[in-house]
Structure 1
Amino acid sequence: MKQLLLLFFLLNPVLGWAQQTGTVQGVVRSGGQPVAFASVGLKSSKLGTTADENGRFTLAAVPTGNHRLVASAVGFQPTEHSVVVTDGTTATVEVHVAAVPAALQEVVVTGVSRATEIRKSPVPVAVLSKREVLLNSNSNIIDAAVQGVPGLSAVTTGPNISKPFIRGLGYNRVLTLYNGLRQEGQQWGDEHGIEIDQYDIERIEVVKGPASLMYGSDAVAGVINMLPRLPTGTSGRLHGDALTEYQTNNNLLGTSLGLTYHQRGWQYAARASYRRAQNYRNALEGRVYGTAFRELNLTGMAGVEKAWGSTHFTATLYDNFQEIPDGSRDSLSRRFTRQVFEGEQDDIRNRPLVPQADLSTYRLNPLHQHIQHYRLLNRTRLRLGAGDLHTLLGVQQNQRREYNHPTAPSQPGLAVALTTTTYDIRYAAPAWRGLETTVGLNGMHQRNQNRNATDFPIPDYNLTDVGGYVHLKKAWGPLELSGGLRYDTRWLRWDDFYVGPDARTGFARQVNRAEATGTEPQFSAFRTRYQGVSASAGATYSFSEKLLLRANVARGYRAPNITEVGSNGLDPGAHIVYLGNRTFGPEFSLQEDIGLSAYLPDAELSASLFNNDIRNYIYQARLTDADGQPVVIVPGNATYQYQQGRARLYGAEITANLHPRALPMLAFNNSLAYVTGLNKQTGLLETHGRAARYLPLIPPLHTRSELRLTQQRARGRLSNAYVRAVLDLHAAQNRFYALDNTETRTGGYALLGLGAGTGLRNRTGEREIVQLFVQLDNALNTVYQSHLNRLKYFEYYAASPNGRQGIYNQGRNLSLKVVVPF
């Protein structure tokens, strides 16, 4: 069977070479006027292009036969047009599209069985384009998504480290994808970010709500899919863009070069990106020691699209050097100090001050992380009659080393390599009497290995996931129903793992059973199996094309991750000793979601309410002794033990985007996101009362308002010029997990942002040759702490002379981006 499959995949490209092709050309119009820069492509195909400013387009290398041509543009309803292509000829068409609010035409492909219009998805979905990402200044791709999607937040550990949270749930409850491939990079940790090149992402799709039906474990809160750019533009010509970015706060320098090419169905893309930054600063503390970084990304793609379908191979390399902050300071001046000794010789009160030269440099300090992530994936789509078979195969390895020994800077304290093989097979059957059926099978195998290290928070382990599902969708007039059922199982296992002294270095090291000389293993052998059933049922009712009601009920499943079950040691980068619990069972959530959306001539309004009850909810809490004092296993590091109980999260998201027809250049966009997380563990509440009432890491009420004026028609050589003002309001967070001082109250704050930009067209006005984006964030240089900023708790003293504790967020920052498309 394996040989037949291999032969099939090898023969398909050969058959594609012999495929007869023709050309399709034409114009896209609305009301007799050309629609500039409309997207035009073949339905159920990746073959597409962009019309010019006069609405004209050309599609080359189109397979012969009958096709459906799809044209869409922001502000217009997508339209299909039949076209017949014969070998060696050119078919000419004129496609007419109708103007409607932009939100009606967006199509989402994440978290659903087939491409679906956002408005018809029973769960809330948000899409962020590359242009929206470019408008904002950000240090990583998650921060970019947070600024554009209500209900999405991030736990941060400095400017380049952000973990996504959806509606108060994060870590292994949010599944992050790169081009459909699940991102496996030890996402359960706080101290490193998502290993994806932000300059390579063309589109971000966010599913807010349980998506376990499609993906299995780790998608109970939602999915974030980062989609890279595919080749577009004129066939047979090299296209691409060059980007340069500078940010004043931490002197961030970013450069990126991307190239794309396609001809006769063959497609190629490549990108190289490099960023480096110094320590960030704020008005209270100056530069924050330990927050500089250096990052390199390389990406390559090759693929082919023919009448039989398509196949694409993508390879990526992520290489990041990231400093490790610890927050140590002089007790009186509050200036940052550095660690130079270890163990009993390291006195926090006598650490030397960090010289100014070491605060304002691109040179990284000896205490840092080195994270490398390699990824190879294949996406294939085969047309099987009226149905489609989609496959995704990927292998990735995440190597993480944390250098935390000042007396031995070349010796990593933590060194792990995580290798993951992922598969996803999905068959979309032909519709039968209006019923669309999709069946799928996906899973992964994962192996973690500790290498030359001195600290071992988790053991070497093997993990295997497998799950299958069926999804159904059918429409009855204005009512569209969808739902499905899934079963998952996970095997987790590891052998005895011993740790002993290293006479050569004086540190600990991994040893075998014989070398352990009768000592107990740090991680004794463990075998277990988790299993669970996921299900969803949703409906969308269209009162009209402009008023829709959607509702969804879903049962999510999540198996515990490795740290929650097996951790028993220091994570140097987090400055935390984690203790797991082998008795944990899987989490099961039941979420209800209901939303109403109105697409009016002058506004787009939406409101969504959700309620999420979770059984076996797992969270972190500080470990204390019988006297209520914090347990310290490793001096200078906190000790956390995972807990499991019941929880409930509920909240709302509201958006009101105004775009008056009488003033088409004006857009006034507003959003509100609110979530409350309640700890429902009865015994804990009875013992500790209000201190244990709320869940940890719950974002406060957040509103965002943006006023934007955008140039509607090119004037001279300027196009798409805009000015904008953004106001972010974060309420005080008074509902926090206060037990054992795990969290503290966070005050509210307001951040003002100002921005402007424009495009510069060539002399003939045919295309943009330069795009300029300027953004000033935190324009008033407000001193604040985000409730989800882990640096807030990096503090060694019970009190400080200025009454402020922990590390504060970034101050005023001016960002300049220049993009040169070609």
Structure 2
Amino acid sequence: MKKYILLSIVLGHFASMFAQHILSGKVTTQAGEPLPGATIYCYELSKGTFSDSDGNFELSNLPAGKITVQFSFVGYASQVQIVLMDENVKRIDVALHETALEAEEVVVSGGYNATQHQTAVKIDVLNLDEKRRKISPNIMETLSQVPGVNMISKGSGVAKPVIRGLSMNDILTLNNGVRIENYQYSDHHPLGVNEFGIEDVEIIKGPASLLYGSDAIGGVINFIREKPAPVGTLQGDYGLQLFSNSLGVVQNLGLKGASKDIFGGLRVGYVSHADYLQGGGDFVPNTRFNESSLKANIGHAGRMGTFELFYDHNRHNIGLVEEESAEEIDERGRKPDIFYQRLDNQMLSSRNRLYFNRYKLQINAAYQDNKLSHIGEANEYEVEMRLRTLTYETKLHFPSDLYTEYIFGFQGMNQWNDNLNDRATKLLPDAVMQNYSLFGLLQRTFFSKLKVQGGIRYDYRSLSTQAVGDPAVVDLFRPALDKSYDSFSGSIGATLDLNESLLFRSNIAAAFRNPNLAELTSNGQHEERFEIGDASLRPENAYEVDASLHLHKENYTLDLAGFYNSIRDYIFISPTGDESAGGVPIYQYRQGDAYLYGGEFAFHIHPVNLSWLHFQTDFSSVIGKQRNGDYLPFIPAHQLNAEIRAEKNEMAFLQDAFVSISTNTAFAQRNPAPNETSTSGYTIVDATIGAVLKVARVPVAWQLGVNNLFDVRYVDHLSTLKEVEYYNPGRNVVLSMKLRF
């Protein structure tokens, strides 16, 4: 008898796991009128659908457990529901209310699937909707619209993020949740990800080592893939952008479809830019670049969970702006032939979520293969390296209710750096690097208003290199290195809903960053300087406290945030004042204690009686200093941005028509680091018009804009072309078109 009882319990357990779970309901307005065509999307399952003509919807073949569902419709505030699928059929009726302002988004970079206002860590979301973003030759210029985010640029082809004054090695970039490893710690190399097939960009401001380990000491930028097609649909789009300043052409074509359980997509893109024109009209030699890319994905979503496979391939050819190239290039061109770098990046990644009753298990893995070549004279390879990276992680979500979440995880990374074909210059030695970590996260909601989040993490890293050079040539010899590091990190924070409109957020975090291969082993010429590493460098350790206030009313929003970040053993590179035997300035990696502080302010208003008008402005400021009183390098100037926009949903034969004028003001930077010079302030004006026009029943979104309308001749404090006395791009007329079919 006992055997039969036990067998019944086991069979019942498995039956609940594999039972058909259905989520259904109706989407209406506040007045109860149905909203046909509303989007219903489940983030954990990469699965979505539309409401029918009566506002009804149904998502079937769902697993048991807790899922996050977003309901959205154009012109209405999105609504996010946490649903506990503990019944075979669950019904949710949702009433959306009209709004002229963007609502909060669901974010996935904070460790939990939650809305922006439910995370203790400050996360900004930039939606790459063609109507609302600045069209630019590089994605980082678009991201710098977010307060507190800037970019270090070397022309239009190379740009690196700066978040609250920290950059390069202290900012971690993710491609759909996978850390990008492609020699990213040099300001000469591109970001490594483009905007093709990207729907949102999530930006964590401040330390995020608890979630991502080393290199997230200053923040994280996560490029989120576009959502799969709704169940039962096949969708496609083609995009074209033309740029007058750099004679640029950008094209991309995408297709995606989904059946009941299977979904997938394919996207190809091509970018080509000639040397750009600086303010005043002169071209900057060798700022030309081109890129080709291929992205594909396939997935399955069912009762057991979601299984997804992604493949990305990017190939860049980017001109290097150096004294040698400026001397030899006297005509404007498009194709890099001499003094350029070639990067060939491939990534294969798998993301999987398995549901076991009320347990959820995430198993993710990725393999990256990156090749870097520096070409001097035509077909003369000076540097050729290959970096292979294997990353993997497992996260176990324990059974929880609507108010709690417990997560335990493991992450690992193995890397191999190799010099290829015995080139004359070996910037970095052959090396093997390994990293392993354990972490735990806890989230708890009290009184329905106070949400507390916290966690702790342990990391261990080892690094071993081979000797480079002849021991008899002391100045160029690099001995073999064998190092190991371990670190603890953690954070605790809370969000408090003071009332329906006012939210307070605060977080305290401890983070770390291990010294990388370049900082430990460099000993040779890299572009315009001779770089020397230091094998005795210690890990950076940061301790930051930040707080923010968010006010959201029917017709306006206000955000105010402040932070203080203290960093022990901050690593930076600075000139020694000496020159190499070849007459190249010598730079050396150093470290010392430092601190940064500042904040951001943002205000967006939509006047009640002027339904077509929007106005928004923001201000950001950061100060970065060493403990000895010197200022830190690459600290952006204070920034003030403003935009006024008029919109009309229907205007004759046009839909979603708009016109906007925006300004970007950078104040003078009078606090340069010892290796920098002061920079004058500037104001840039952009103007844009756009609309959706149906051509043969196919909607075509077009946009015509002018960046740097008055052709201002300026240089940004974070432009590395300042060293060679070149200015930022001048006037740029941009035409963008996107059709969906």
- Answer yes or no: same fold by TM over 0.5: yes
In the alignment, which of 144, 149, 155 is matched to residue 158 of structure 1? 155
> By how many angstroms is 1:521 displaced?
7.2
Which residue in 1 is equivalent to 2:666?
A: 730
Q: Which moved more, 1:272-281 or 1:449-458?
A: 449-458
3-state SS, counterpart of residue 136 of structure 2:
coil
Which residue in 1 is equivalent to 2:557?
A: 604
- Distance verdict in 2 for CA 1:485–1:411, change over 3 Å: same
Superposition pairs of residues 687-706 of structure 1, within 5 angstroms: 693-706=630-643
Which residue in 2 is equivalent to 1:450?
A: 419
Which residue in 1 is equivalent to 2:116?
A: 118
Q: Which moved more, 1:271-280 or 1:465-474?
A: 465-474
Is it true that 1:207 corresponds to 2:204 in the alignment? yes
Q: Which amino acid aligns with 1:491?
A: S
3-state SS, counterpart of residue 210 of structure 2:
helix
> By how many angstroms is 1:145 displaced?
1.2
Which residue in 2 is equivalent to 1:593?
A: 546
Which residue in 1 is equivalent to 2:496?
A: 541
- Which structure shows the higher strand fraction? 2
CA distance in 1, matches of 2:501, 2:51: 27
Is it true that 1:577 corresponds to 2:530 in the alignment? yes
- Distance verdict in 2 for CA 1:728–1:79, change over 3 Å: closer
In the alignment, which of 642, 658, 668 is matched to residue 589 of structure 2? 642
Whether the aligned pair in 2 keeps the contact of 1:487 and 1:532 (CA below 8 Å) is yes
Which residue in 2 is equivalent to 1:30?
A: 30
In the alignment, which of 465, 479, 482 is matched to residue 453 of structure 2? 482
Which residue in 1 is equivalent to 2:341?
A: 369
Q: Which moved more, 1:301-310 or 1:99-108?
A: 99-108
- Distance verdict in 2 for CA 1:497–1:771, change over 3 Å: same
CA distance in 2, matches of 1:86, 1:123: 33
- Distance verdict in 2 for CA 1:308–1:374, change over 3 Å: same
Q: Which moved more, 1:196-205 or 1:742-751?
A: 196-205
CA distance in 2, matches of 1:81, 1:493: 46
CA distance in 2, matches of 1:812, 1:208: 31
Whether the aligned pair in 1 keeps the contact of 2:131 and 2:690 (CA below 8 Å) is no
CA distance in 1, matches of 2:634, 2:452: 34
CA distance in 2, matches of 1:599, 1:295: 41
CA distance in 2, matches of 1:182, 1:133: 29
Aligned-residue CA RMSD (Å)? 2.8
In the alignment, which of 441, 449, 471 is matched to residue 441 of structure 2? 471
Is it true that 1:388 corresponds to 2:360 in the alignment? yes
CA distance in 2, matches of 1:640, 1:64: 56
Question: 1:370-413: per-residue Cα shift (whole Å, max 9, x none)?
Answer: 11000000000001221211121000011110102x2xx22211
In the alignment, which of 135, 138, 141 is matched to residue 140 of structure 1? 138
> By how many angstroms is 1:123 displaced?
2.2
> By how many angstroms is 1:159 displaced?
0.1
Q: Which amino acid aligns with 1:585?
A: R
> By how many angstroms is 1:81 displaced?
9.9
Whether the aligned pair in 2 keeps the contact of 1:546 and 1:600 (CA below 8 Å) is yes
- Distance verdict in 2 for CA 1:773–1:643, change over 3 Å: same
Q: Which amino acid aligns with 1:790?
A: T
Which residue in 2 is equivalent to 1:553?
A: 508
Which residue in 2 is equivalent to 1:792?
A: 722
CA distance in 2, matches of 1:732, 1:81: 47
> By how many angstroms is 1:474 displaced?
1.0
3-state SS, counterpart of residue 665 of structure 2:
strand
Q: Which runs of 5+ in 1 are unaligned?
A: 1-14, 330-335, 339-353, 500-515, 625-629, 686-692, 795-805
Whether the aligned pair in 1 keeps the contact of 2:63 and 2:355 (CA below 8 Å) is no
Is it true that 1:337 corresponds to 2:337 in the alignment? no
Which residue in 1 is equivalent to 2:9?
A: none
Q: Which runs of 5+ in 2 are unaligned?
A: 1-14
CA distance in 2, matches of 1:138, 1:377: 28
Q: Which amino acid aligns with 2:678?
A: R
Q: Which amino acid aligns with 1:759?
A: V
Whether the aligned pair in 2 keeps the contact of 1:58 and 1:234 (CA below 8 Å) is no
Question: 1:506-530: per-residue Cα shift (whole Å, max 9, x none)?
Answer: xxxxxxxxxx899897220111111
Which residue in 2 is equivalent to 1:169?
A: 166
> By how many angstroms is 1:77 displaced?
5.0
| TM-score, structure 1 normalization | 0.83
CA distance in 2, matches of 1:752, 1:207: 28
In the alignment, which of 750, 763, 769 is matched to residue 699 of structure 2? 769
> By how many angstroms is 1:138 displaced?
1.3
CA distance in 1, matches of 2:65, 2:485: 49
Which residue in 2 is equivalent to 1:782?
A: 712
- Distance verdict in 2 for CA 1:280–1:468, change over 3 Å: same
Whether the aligned pair in 2 keeps the contact of 1:310 and 1:380 (CA below 8 Å) is yes
Superposition pairs of residues 58-457 of structure 1, within 5 angstroms: 62-63=61-62, 70-73=70-73, 75-78=76-79, 80=81, 95-99=94-98, 102=101, 104-110=103-109, 112-131=110-129, 135-147=133-145, 149-233=146-230, 235=232, 237-284=233-280, 286-327=282-323, 336-338=326-328, 354-355=329-330, 358-359=331-332, 361-404=333-376, 406=377, 409-431=378-400, 434-452=403-421, 453-457=423-427
- Distance verdict in 2 for CA 1:654–1:633, change over 3 Å: farther
> By how many angstroms is 1:72 displaced?
2.9
CA distance in 2, matches of 1:377, 1:589: 31
Question: 1:453-498: per-residue Cα shift (whole Å, max 9, x none)?
Answer: 2212211111111111111111112221111111111101112223
> By how many angstroms is 1:31 displaced?
2.1
Whether the aligned pair in 2 keeps the contact of 1:417 and 1:448 (CA below 8 Å) is yes
3-state SS, counterpart of residue 227 of structure 2:
coil
- Distance verdict in 2 for CA 1:587–1:633, change over 3 Å: farther
Q: Which amino acid aligns with 1:773?
A: Q
Which residue in 1 is equivalent to 2:49?
A: 49
Which residue in 2 is equivalent to 1:7?
A: none
3-state SS, counterpart of residue 143 of structure 1:
helix
- Distance verdict in 2 for CA 1:25–1:451, change over 3 Å: same
In the alignment, which of 728, 731, 741 is matched to residue 809 of structure 1? 728
- Distance verdict in 2 for CA 1:170–1:787, change over 3 Å: same
Whether the aligned pair in 1 keeps the contact of 2:431 and 2:464 (CA below 8 Å) is yes
> By how many angstroms is 1:239 displaced?
0.7
- Distance verdict in 2 for CA 1:55–1:558, change over 3 Å: farther
> By how many angstroms is 1:595 displaced?
1.0
CA distance in 2, matches of 1:524, 1:66: 54
- Distance verdict in 2 for CA 1:215–1:363, change over 3 Å: closer
Which residue in 2 is equivalent to 1:3?
A: none
Whether the aligned pair in 1 keeps the contact of 2:390 and 2:414 (CA below 8 Å) is yes
3-state SS, counterpart of residue 497 of structure 2:
strand
Percent of matched pairs sharing the same residue: 27
3-state SS, counterpart of residue 564 of structure 1:
helix
Whether the aligned pair in 1 keeps the contact of 2:468 and 2:479 (CA below 8 Å) is yes
CA distance in 2, matches of 1:273, 1:664: 38
CA distance in 1, matches of 2:234, 2:488: 48
CA distance in 2, matches of 1:601, 1:63: 35
Whether the aligned pair in 2 keeps the contact of 1:177 and 1:223 (CA below 8 Å) is yes
3-state SS, counterpart of residue 381 of structure 2:
coil
CA distance in 2, matches of 1:727, 1:618: 34
- Distance verdict in 2 for CA 1:132–1:213, change over 3 Å: farther
Which residue in 1 is equivalent to 2:8?
A: none
Q: Which amino acid aligns with 2:262?
A: W
Question: 1:544-601: per-residue Cα shift (whole Å, max 9, x none)?
Answer: 0210111111011110111111111112xx3221101111110000101011111122
- Distance verdict in 2 for CA 1:58–1:771, change over 3 Å: farther
- Distance verdict in 2 for CA 1:754–1:714, change over 3 Å: same
Whether the aligned pair in 2 keeps the contact of 1:601 and 1:660 (CA below 8 Å) is no
- Distance verdict in 2 for CA 1:95–1:564, change over 3 Å: same
Q: Which amino acid aligns with 1:411?
A: E
> By how many angstroms is 1:238 displaced?
2.3
> By how many angstroms is 1:108 displaced?
1.1
- Distance verdict in 2 for CA 1:254–1:380, change over 3 Å: same
CA distance in 2, matches of 1:283, 1:97: 48
